[in-house]
């Protein structure tokens, strides 16, 4: 399950980092405080940008540790500035880069029982495909849409980012 | 690659269908024309609900046919009512239910060359993980967020929907 998860978390978090860079540039150009974006949200009862980014990075982190059995690093969820959110993403990228295919070698058949399931559990592969990936993409997409709805000029191509294509033959 | 794609497209499109049902109920309760939601969008330069749903269903359809080599069904992209969008989702679900694991048995190593790549191509498995899944989740999440931003009371749990868990032991 390494190939289904970690490289894609890394690619999308790298994209997310570039959107935050563009948000800073946009704020500078327009002359507003970029940190105002940290509390922006799409709906009054939906999480703000900070929590979307915390959730995306946590989903990737917990996916790695629940499949490997390692202890997850603790991240404080105390970001109040755009710079701190960029640092949060950088921390998550650095952590995921330490995760090896060997650590997830038994991940597909791991028994994964997040606390919110109250004793129920996933086969590792079901957890990846039925929960971790949808949840990760949900939060990354919502972070993207919050920035875009606030005027940051992000094209759709920016969302997908670099794709692993082969050159024309 | 069947297990990585088709069942998850089906689950998420079933969830999407339930959000559209909830949107109709919400419009009826509040006494507005539900079809107004069809052109709702999160940003003025981002696609409206109809196009998000067309894109989500097309992404799932093309994923299936590009991996199997079958000819994709043609869907007209002419939906202007919420009822027509629900029908579009139902059509996509019915189509995906006809796709068999056997049809995608060679999908992981298929050479996938969508027109927009102008001759470049993906290995099938890279196409699934690096393009089809992110793109599908992007459009489904954005459809969800458009409805929620317009007041439809969708909880986050509604996004993930039924997860394939095992009972407590």
Maximum distance among all Cα pairs of chain B, rounded to whole angstroms: 53
Instruction: Specify the pTM.
Output: 0.97
Query: Under a CB-based contact definition with an 8 Å cutoff, are residues A163 and B130 in contact?
Result: yes
Cα atoms in the 13 Å half-sphere on the side-chain side of B1 = 26
pLDDT tier for residue B164 given thresholds of 50, 70 and 90: confident
Q: Does B119 touch chain A (CB under 8 A)?
A: yes
* Nearest C-alpha in A relative to B148: A43
Q: How many CB pairs under 8 A join A and B?
A: 124
B interface test, pick of A60, A133, A166, A169 with most B CB neighbours within 10 Å: A166
How much is the pLDDT for A166?
94
How much is the pLDDT for A164?
83
pLDDT at B83 over 90: yes
Residue with tokens 């239910």: B97
Q: Does B41 touch chain A (CB under 8 A)?
A: no
Separation of alpha carbons B5 and B127, rounded Å: 11
Residues of chain B positioned with their CB less than 8 A from the CB of A156: 138
Q: Does A15 touch chain B (CB under 8 A)?
A: no
Query: Under a CB-based contact definition with an 8 Å cutoff, are residues A154 and A143 in contact?
Result: no
Please judge whether B137 and A135 are an interchain contact, meaning their C-beta atoms are less than 8 angstroms apart.
no
Residue with tokens 């327009």: A30
Q: Does A41 touch chain B (CB under 8 A)?
A: no
pLDDT at A156 over 90: no
The per-residue pLDDT of chain A, averaged, comes to 96
Nearest to B89 by CA among B63, B58, B128, B134: B58
Take residue A142 and report the two structure tokens written for it.
């919502």
Q: Are strands B122-123 and A122-123 parallel, antiparallel or unpaired?
A: unpaired
Q: What is the pLDDT of residues A19-71, one digit of tens each?
A: 999 999 999 999 999 999 999 999 999 999 999 999 999 999 999 999 999 99
Q: What is the pLDDT of residues A66-100, one digit of tens each?
A: 999 999 999 999 999 999 999 999 999 999 999 99
**ipTM attached to this prediction:** 0.96
Q: Which helix (H) or strand (E) holds B111?
A: strand B111-112
Residue with tokens 């196009």: B51
Query: Can you list the alpha helix ranges (DSSP code H) found in A1-81?
Result: 2-30, 49-68
How much is the pLDDT for A163?
85
Query: Under a CB-based contact definition with an 8 Å cutoff, are residues A25 and A153 in contact?
Result: no
Residue with tokens 């791991």: A110
Main-chain phi, psi angles of B72, to 5 degrees = -70, 140
Q: What is the pLDDT of residues B86-145, one digit of tens each?
A: 999 999 999 999 999 999 999 999 999 998 899 999 999 999 999 999 999 999 999 999
């Amino acid at each position: 399950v390494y190939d289904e998860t970690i490289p894609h978390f890394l690619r999308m978090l790298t994209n997310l980092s570039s959107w935050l860079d563009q948000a800073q540039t946009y704020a500078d150009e327009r002359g507003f405080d970029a940190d105002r974006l940290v509390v922006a949200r799409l709906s009054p009862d939906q999480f703000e940008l900070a929590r979307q980014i915390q959730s995306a990075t946590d989903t990737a982190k917990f996916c790695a540790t629940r499949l490997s059995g390692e202890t997850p690093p603790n991240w404080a969820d105390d970001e109040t500035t755009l710079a701190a959110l960029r640092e949060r993403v950088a921390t998550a990228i650095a952590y995921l880069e330490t995760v090896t295919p060997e650590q997830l070698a038994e991940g597909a058949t791991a028994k994964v029982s997040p606390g919110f399931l109250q004793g129920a559990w996933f086969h590792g592969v079901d957890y990846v495909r039925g929960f971790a990936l949808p949840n990760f993409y949900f939060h990354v997409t919502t972070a993207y849409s919050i920035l875009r709805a606030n005027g940051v000029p992000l094209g759709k191509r920016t969302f997908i980012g670099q794709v692993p294509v082969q050159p024309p033959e």
